[in-house]
Chains A and B, each alone.
Chain A
Amino acid sequence: MSSGNGSSDRQVTLSIDGREVTVPEGETILAACTAADVDTPTICWAPNLTPVNVCRVCVVELEGSRTLVPACSRPVEAGMQISTDSERVRHSRRMVLEFLGSANDLSQASEIADWSRIYGADPARYEGSADDGDGLSLRPEPERVDEPVRIQDDLYIRAYDRCVLCYKCVEACGDDAQHTFAIAVAGRGFDARIRTEYDAELPDSACVYCGNCVAVCPTGALQFRTEFDLRAVGEWRPDDQAVTRTVCSYCGVGCNLELHVQDEHIVKVTSPADHSVTSGHLCIKGRFGWQYVHAPAFEPPTTSAAEH
Chain B
Amino acid sequence: MADLHFSDAEPTASERRAVLAALSVDEASDGAVVVSHPRVVRAGMQRRKQMRHLLLPALHALQREAGWISPGGLNFVGRTLGVPPAEAYGVATFYEMFRTEAPAHELSVRHVCVDPICALAGAAPLAEHLRSQGHAVHEGPCLGQCERAPAVFIQGRREPDRVPADGSGPDSLLVSVTAPAPEAPSLLRHMIGRDPGHNESMSMEAYRERGGGTALDTALRLGTDEVIAQVTTAGLSGRGGAAFPTGIKWRAVADGEGPKHVVANIDESEPGTFKDRLLCELEPLAIIESIAVAGLTVGAEHGWIYIRGEYPLATQRLRHAIAQAHSAGWLGDDAAGSGQPFDIELRRGAGAYICGEETALFNSLEGFRGEPRNKPPFPTTHGLFGRPTVVNNPETLLNVNEILRIGPEAYRSVGTDGSPGTKLFCLSGHVGRPGLYEAPFGMPLGELLGLAGGVQGTLAAVLLGGAAGSFVGPDAGGLQLSLEDTRAAGTTLGSGPVMVFNDTADMSAVVERLAKFFRDESCGQCVPCRVGTVRQHELVTQIRRTGRSTEPQRELLGDIADAMGDASICGLGHTAASAVLSAMRLGLLGDGQL
A interface residues with partner B (beta carbon < 8 Å) = 53-57, 59, 67-68, 70, 73-74, 88, 91-92, 95-96, 99-100, 102-103, 125-126, 128-129, 131-135, 138-140, 142-143, 164-165, 174-175, 179-192, 195-198, 200, 204-206
CA distance A67 to B560 in the complex (A): 15
User: Does B248 interact with chain A (Cβ within 8 Å)?
Assistant: no
User: Does B157 interact with chain A (Cβ within 8 Å)?
Assistant: no
User: Does B506 interact with chain A (Cβ within 8 Å)?
Assistant: no
CA distance A139 to B541 in the complex (A): 7
Nearest-neighbour CB distance to chain A for B533, whole angstroms, equals: 7
User: Does B594 interact with chain A (Cβ within 8 Å)?
Assistant: no
Residues of B within 8 A of A70 (CB): 374
Residues of A within 8 A of B524 (CB): 165, 185, 187-192
CA distance A163 to B93 in the complex (A): 19
Q: Is the interface of B mostly helix, strand, loop or mixed?
A: helix
CA distance A151 to B135 in the complex (A): 41
Nearest-neighbour CB distance to chain A for B566, whole angstroms, equals: 5
CA distance A59 to B352 in the complex (A): 27
Residues of A within 8 A of B541 (CB): 139-140
In the complex, are the beta carbons of B567 and A100 less than 8 A apart? no
Residues of B within 8 A of A57 (CB): 527
Number of interface residues of B (CB under 8 A): 59
Question: Chain B 561-594 against A: per-residue CB contact (8 Å), 1 yes, 0 no?
Answer: 0110111110000100000000000000000000
In the complex, are the beta carbons of A197 and B526 less than 8 A apart? no
In the complex, are the beta carbons of B527 and A67 less than 8 A apart? no
Partner of A100, one of B86, B93, B525, B531: B531
Residues of A within 8 A of B534 (CB): 103, 142-143, 189-190
Partner of A198, one of B5, B100, B523: B100
CA distance A288 to B320 in the complex (A): 59
Q: Which residue of chain B has its CB nearest to the CB of A184?
A: B90
CA distance A279 to B566 in the complex (A): 33
A-B contact pairs, 19 of them (CB 8 A): A53-B569, A74-B374, A92-B528, A102-B535, A126-B538, A135-B550, A135-B553, A175-B45, A180-B5, A181-B84, A182-B84, A185-B369, A189-B520, A190-B533, A192-B524, A192-B525, A197-B7, A198-B71, A204-B7
CA distance A140 to B525 in the complex (A): 24
Nearest-neighbour CB distance to chain B for A243, whole angstroms, equals: 31
Residues of A within 8 A of B100 (CB): 198
Query: Contacts A53-B569, A88-B566 given: A95-B89 contact, CB under 8 Å?
Result: no
Query: Contacts A95-B563, A132-B553 given: A100-B527 contact, CB under 8 Å?
Result: yes
User: Does B225 interact with chain A (Cβ within 8 Å)?
Assistant: no
In the complex, are the beta carbons of A197 and B528 less than 8 A apart? no
Nearest-neighbour CB distance to chain B for A74, whole angstroms, equals: 8
List the 6 closest pairs (A to B, CB-CB), nearest first. Answer: A181-B84, A192-B524, A95-B563, A206-B5, A184-B90, A99-B531
In the complex, are the beta carbons of B550 and A132 less than 8 A apart? yes
Residues of A within 8 A of B341 (CB): none
Q: Which residue of chain A has its CB nearest to the CB of B565?
A: A67
Q: Which residue of chain B has its CB nearest to the CB of A129?
A: B552
Most A CB within 10 A of own CB, among B523, B525, B552: B525
Residues of A within 8 A of B559 (CB): 91, 95
CA distance A196 to B562 in the complex (A): 35
Residues of B within 8 A of A188 (CB): 93-94, 352, 521-524
Q: Which residue of chain A has its CB nearest to the CB of B94?
A: A188
In the complex, are the beta carbons of A195 and B86 less than 8 A apart? yes
Residues of A within 8 A of B374 (CB): 53, 70, 73-74
CA distance A205 to B9 in the complex (A): 12
In the complex, are the beta carbons of A125 and B527 less than 8 A apart? no
CA distance A164 to B528 in the complex (A): 12
User: Does B181 interact with chain A (Cβ within 8 Å)?
Assistant: no
Partner of B519, one of A165, A189, A197: A189
Residues of A within 8 A of B94 (CB): 186-188
CB-contacts of B68-114 with A (<8 A) = 71, 74, 84-90, 93-94, 100
Residues of B within 8 A of A54 (CB): 525-527, 569
